Amino acid sequence: MEETKIRVAIDYKGTRKPKFLSTTLEERELIIECLELFQLDVNHWKNFELRISLLDCLVQHSNSLLANDILILANKACLIPQLFKENKERI
């Protein structure tokens, strides 16, 4: 069976790069592919998450992606202070 690929844009700290991804990748494999794209240490993949920008939701499998989705690669440690700030602004 031929592998299907989908083109997306990966955003890391404001820098966007296009990437073709297989539609059979699990979360770990997706994050590792993105880390490699930005030449980051793949051994720290557990410290990152990948979100679909338009939907603001986590990506757990590449079969949920659409062509030209913008994915945000973010370090989880950087997200925690931002979430507290957003919650304070809502109150």
**Chunked in runs of 10, what are the mean pLDDT values of the chain (91 residues)?**
85 97 96 97 95 94 95 82 49 48
Per-residue pLDDT at 65: 96
Per-residue pLDDT at 15: 97
**Count of CB atoms within 10 A of residue 62's CB?**
22
Strands 70-75 and 5-12: parallel
Q: How far apart are CA 91 and CA 72, in angstroms?
A: 26
Per-residue pLDDT at 6: 95
Per-residue pLDDT at 84: 45
Per-residue pLDDT at 77: 80
Q: DSSP strand E in the chain: where?
A: 5-12, 15-22, 48-52, 57-58, 70-75
CA-nearest of 41, 36, 34 to 73 is 34
All structural domains of the chain = 5-90 (3.10.20.90)
CA-nearest of 64, 41, 61, 54 to 11 is 54
User: Does the predicted TM-score (pTM) go above 0.85?
Assistant: no
